[in-house]
Structure 1
């Protein structure tokens, strides 16, 4: 059995779930974790953040329910309104980090979210991945090269297809996958204890 975590780096609810997914991965080192980028802001949804008027209210709810922090640098992006969230670029970034450090994918995925929601950095900017790689102790040149390589685009598209094939309709979604058996463990939000209880019930 493995865990499959389908998220989007630009999804506030996924940011709110970061602590839970890190805790579950730490509690269950015996379970491989696959992290899949979902593709929330692609195509016609790739527009300035001001187009999403619900963002502020949603973020306040996420903080209330999960304790997630939306820091001042990110708040300035929201206030300005011109920033464009591009989930394809974020998915390429995860693919690059995953390629360089496949055994640290949960850490990398949540670090990507912190880069945006805490530090206010663009996940389309190669400099963001250089900074992330250095903070994670990875080869920064290798990560940036992987982000800019054609393979990252193909990997991002493959992630979006994988999300669809798994039937995921919202982010974050945490699944237990055992062969053909796919069991949802969390959708939207859950505590680590709640996820653990559902895992335990699988037998």
Structure 2
């Protein structure tokens, strides 16, 4: 069994660009386990986006689109009064980890990538907690091929103080590790954690880095 730690933020455009490469890499690993730690790229931001910020972000998005070939709907950045706060979407990932702790770890990756797709490809407002609860619960049900999760229950846990605290703990852990940019993928080995990538990369580079690690 191969174990990995993924440090990322669903509203990080390079993390979205990396999503397909990460999925392909994990598919090459038998019974891969993935622990997702959310980074809080712009957590607790309270500033309404101005034109300068919008142009800077869209410039990054265009670069990611060119490199990755993934779909983008840029119109979401035109939302009036939009605040680019990544804490709620990170908290949705933490909520999924709490509610689906008995499911395979890749179920959480499905939630993470569903939130990414909703934001980047569908221009949905993933700072809205009700939107988050709907997207995440649907992703969990799709993974499990069931109706075990509902948006109301998900929303209840999403907005609970302990979930907010646990999300903050994720951010603090990332800071303690000294991570300053995303995505980061680490391999878990007997002698500790090994860096596979810090930043966007392709499948073949991940495979090469992994093959060079001690067994």
TM-score by length of 1: 0.88
**Which residue is 1:139 aligned to?**
149
Specify the alignment match of 1:107 in structure 2.
110
Q: Distance in 2 between matches of 1:136 and 1:90?
A: 15
The residue number in structure 2 matching 1:23 is 24
Partner of 2:96: 97
Report what 2:162 is aligned to.
151
Cα deviation digits, residues 146-180 of structure 1 (max 9, x gap): 21111210111111012122221101111123356
SS at 1:119's partner residue? Answer: coil
CA contact (8 A) 2:133 2:158 kept: no
Calculate the aligned-residue CA RMSD, in Å.
2.0
Aligned residue runs from structure 1 range 73-88, under 5 A? 75-80=74-79, 82-88=81-87
Q: Distance in 2 between matches of 1:113 and 1:123?
A: 9
Distance change (3 Å), C-alpha of 1:157 and 1:55 = same
SS of corresponding position for 1:54: helix
Query: For residues 46 and 40 of structure 1, do their structure 2 counterparts lie closer, same or farther at Cα, with a shift above 3 Å needed?
Result: farther
Unaligned runs of 5+ in 1: none
User: 5+ unaligned residues in a row in structure 2: which ranges?
Assistant: 142-147
For 1:28-79, what per-residue CA distance to the aligned partner results, in whole angstroms no more than 9, with x for missing partners? 2433211111011124x442333523111111111111112212xxx22213
Q: Is the 8 A contact 1:22 1:107 kept in 2?
A: no
Q: Number of paired residues?
A: 199
Cross-structure match for 1:117: 120
CA gap of 1:84–1:95, structure 2 versus 1, over 3 A, is: same
2:194 aligned residue? 183
Q: What is residue 14 of structure 1 aligned with on the other side?
A: 15
Please identify which structure carries the higher helix content: 1
| 2:14/2:199 contact within 8 Å kept | yes
Aligned residues of 1:25 and 1:106 also touching (Cα < 8 A) = no
Does 33-42 or 170-179 show the bigger shift? Answer: 170-179
Q: Deviation string for 1:163-198 (max 9, x for gaps)?
A: 122221101111123356322111221112211111
